[in-house]
Amino acid sequence: MNQREWSRSRFWLCHFLHNRHERVRIGWDAPIPGAPLGPGCAPSAARWMRRALGGRMPEARRRLIAAAAAGLPEDPAFVQCLRLLVKEEHYHAQLGARALRRLGAPEVRPSWGRRLWQHVRHPLGLRFELSIMLLSDLVDLNLYQRVQRSIADPALGAMCAQIIRDKQAHAAFHTERLTLEYADFNFLRRNLRRVRLRLMFALVALGALAMHQGLIRASGTGGRRFLQDCGVDFAATLERMVPYRRDALLAALLNQRKNPYSKPFGGNG
């Protein structure tokens, strides 16, 4: 292994290569139930799916991969991991387009606001991009899990199961990589980074609540419970990624190096 190659790059490359062949079987040809998304859930869930899965912006991801390739030429496995992760996102978008057609809902293109945000955040660097992707995945996971619990259509339920499984892996991948990226920060920078990540997460979670509160209510939980659940997941992730205690950080980095092919967060390989 190259001295500057991330010890986990090859594990994650193997994961993403294997995951392309491990897809949940989705019965798109099955009859559509009368209320496929459960009572009261359909309009808000369709709006959410149009926003979450419709109109991805491939040019933004291409810039991300190009930045990683230029900045990390010694770690081609990590760059290839990003390419495969983006392909999984594209697959999710294809699933979403199929789901919207099944619901009879129109697809949408990205808004000018989303396009502007993509252009603004790109110059902030790879760490910022990965952290935004991580925080978005954590919030999306909570939304998908709520939709999955409310769903009456087996095809849409299987779609949610596939995306939940993939996004859990994406979140673990970003968390482990950012643990390494933040490892050289001194005590002050690490605490400032924790504060910044908390603020970023609050904006992402509150934004999701404002846009999808109808869906959250229809799934049987209120906005406060949604924020609490997202907050629990974020707190656990933050403690792994930017731990207060230096010995916890060193233990996480040592585990990555000594057990490069173990499952995320110390699981058995």
In whole angstroms, give the CA distance from residue 33 to residue 156.
11
Question: At the top level of CATH, which class does the domain 9-22+33-266 belong to?
Answer: mainly alpha
Torsion sign, CA atoms 237, 215, 157, 95: negative
Do 171 and 137 touch, CB atoms closer than 8 A?
Answer: yes
Residue by residue, pLDDT tens for the chain (269 residues) are 556 799 999 999 999 999 999 898 999 888 877 666 655 566 666 667 666 655 455 667 788 888 899 989 999 999 999 999 999 998 998 888 888 888 776 665 555 455 544 555 555 678 889 999 999 999 999 999 988 887 878 888 899 999 999 999 999 999 999 999 999 888 889 899 999 999 999 999 999 898 888 778 877 788 899 999 999 999 999 999 999 888 899 999 999 999 999 988 644 44
pTM, two decimals, is 0.88
Residues paired with residue 267 on neighbouring β-strands, in sequence order: 263
Provide the residue ranges of all domains of the chain, joining segments of one domain with +. Answer: 9-22+33-266
Pair of tokens at residue 196? 């910044």
In whole angstroms, give the CA distance from residue 252 to residue 128.
21
Task: Tell me the residue type at 122.
Answer: H
3-class SS at 72? Answer: coil
Do 64 and 166 touch, CB atoms closer than 8 A?
Answer: no
Q: Count CB-CB contacts under 10 A for residue 74.
A: 11
Do 238 and 193 touch, CB atoms closer than 8 A?
Answer: no
